[in-house]
């Protein structure tokens, strides 16, 4: 069974990879991903300076999903720039995720990380868990200006990670921005922001930052993720590859993302809860799903969702 995929001219040995933020902050975590069955190594979304992130507890897993308000803990872009050459030796693509706290931060990091030569650079316009910082991707004018400033600085394939959109008009506006900015692939979606999970026993939220508000992940956000994948796949006529992120817990979840138009998928909550062994399990399960349908590759299924 062929689970390999090609995104923006880059070959991935398998369609499964970590979502940025899930077990990918430290050198040790990134090397563990390199040694695992993951089809790529995706760095934590890096900022200009190192960050310790929000106060703990800041992650909580529960039946059906997770909530987090991590606050972008990371080593800073200089540390990741130094690591990238080492990570490329694992024979799988390295995706460097950059997340500036202001527009100029993105430009500084884009120049430096591009020189380190990862296989792809992902511009994260959807960081929902920084107190006082709005998500750039909810402003199409700001998003377009930033992407047009960053694009000339990046010579490897450039992707954009977007938050969930909940209205077809927003899908349409952002699809036009993506068309105009030379984006090579999309990552859909980041966590669904501003959720609140309550611990009824202690009568408190389950996480500390922002009064308990955080980004939701896991199975419960899969319908939102699938809707965004499908909307952008149709609006962009399947011409820009999409990495589906959100609710990939079993192999069938990945199959659904592919049906909606995704080329590959990223795993967040399930990776945090299960560790890197999750990749091998998901491969087995997706292989079984495809075999049951008489399919030999993901390409046979991509975007083939049958509408009623």
Q: Sign of torsion, CA 81 83 88 94?
A: negative
Q: Sign of torsion, CA 21 23 27 32?
A: negative
Determine whether the annotation assigns residue 75 to a binding site: no
Determine whether the annotation assigns residue 70 to a binding site: yes
The Cβ-side half-sphere exposure at 271, using a 13 Å CA radius, reads 26
Q: Could you say which DSSP state residue 2 is in?
A: B
From the candidates 15, 24, 102, 127, which is the catalytic residue? 127
- Rounded Cα distance between 161 and 181, Å, is 14
Determine whether the annotation assigns residue 66 to a binding site: no
127 is catalytic: yes
Determine whether the annotation assigns residue 201 to a binding site: no
Determine whether the annotation assigns residue 124 to a binding site: yes
Going by their DSSP bridges, the two strands 213-217 and 242-245 should be labelled as: unpaired
Determine whether the annotation assigns residue 187 to a binding site: no
Determine whether the annotation assigns residue 246 to a binding site: yes
Determine whether the annotation assigns residue 219 to a binding site: no
Burial class for 20, CB neighbours closer than 10 Å (0-12, 13-18, 19+): buried
Q: Measuring CA to CA, which residue among 136, 202, 203, 210 is closest to residue 174?
A: 136
Determine whether the annotation assigns residue 247 to a binding site: yes
Annotated binding site: 20, 44-45, 68-72, 124, 161, 189-191, 218, 246-247, 268-269
Active site residues: 127
- Which residues are documented as binding site for FMN? 20, 44-45, 124, 161, 189, 218, 246-247, 268-269
Binding residues for substrate: 44, 68-72, 124, 190-191
């Amino acid at each position: 069974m062929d689970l390999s995929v090609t995104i923006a001219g880059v070959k991935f040995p398998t369609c499964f990879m970590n979502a940025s933020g899930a077990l990918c902050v430290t050198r040790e975590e990134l090397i563990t991903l390199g040694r695992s069955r993951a089809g790529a190594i995706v760095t934590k979304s890096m900022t200009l300076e190192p960050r310790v992130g929000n106060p703990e507890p800041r992650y909580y897993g529960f039946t059906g999903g997770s909530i987090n308000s991590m606050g972008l803990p990371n080593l800073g872009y200089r540390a990741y720039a130094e690591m990238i050459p080492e990570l490329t030796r694992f024979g799988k693509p390295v995706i460097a995720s950059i997340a500036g706290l202001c527009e100029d931060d993105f430009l500084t990091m884009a120049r430096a990380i591009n020189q380190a030569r990862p296989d792809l650079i992902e511009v994260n316009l959807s960081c929902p868990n920084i107190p006082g910082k709005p998500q750039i991707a909810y402003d199409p004018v700001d998003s377009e200006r930033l992407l047009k400033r960053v694009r000339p600085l990046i010579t490897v394939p450039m992707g954009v990670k977007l938050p969930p959109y909940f209205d077809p008009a927003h899908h349409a506006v952002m699809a036009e921005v993506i068309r105009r900015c030379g984006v090579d692939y999309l990552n859909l979606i980041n966590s669904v922001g501003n959720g609140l999970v309550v611990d009824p026993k202690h009568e408190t939220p389950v996480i500390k930052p922002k009064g308990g508000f955080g980004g939701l992940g896991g199975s419960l956000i899969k319908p939102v993720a699938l809707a965004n994948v499908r909307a952008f796949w149709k609006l962009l006529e399947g011409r820009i590859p999409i990495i589906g992120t959100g609710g990939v817990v079993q192999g069938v979840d990945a199959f659904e993302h592919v049906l909606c138009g995704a080329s590959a998928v990223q795993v967040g909550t399930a990776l945090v809860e299960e560790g890197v062994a999750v990749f091998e399990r998901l491969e087995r399960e997706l292989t079984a799903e495809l075999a049951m349908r008489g399919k030999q590759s993901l390409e046979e299924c991509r975007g083939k969702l049958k509408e009623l």
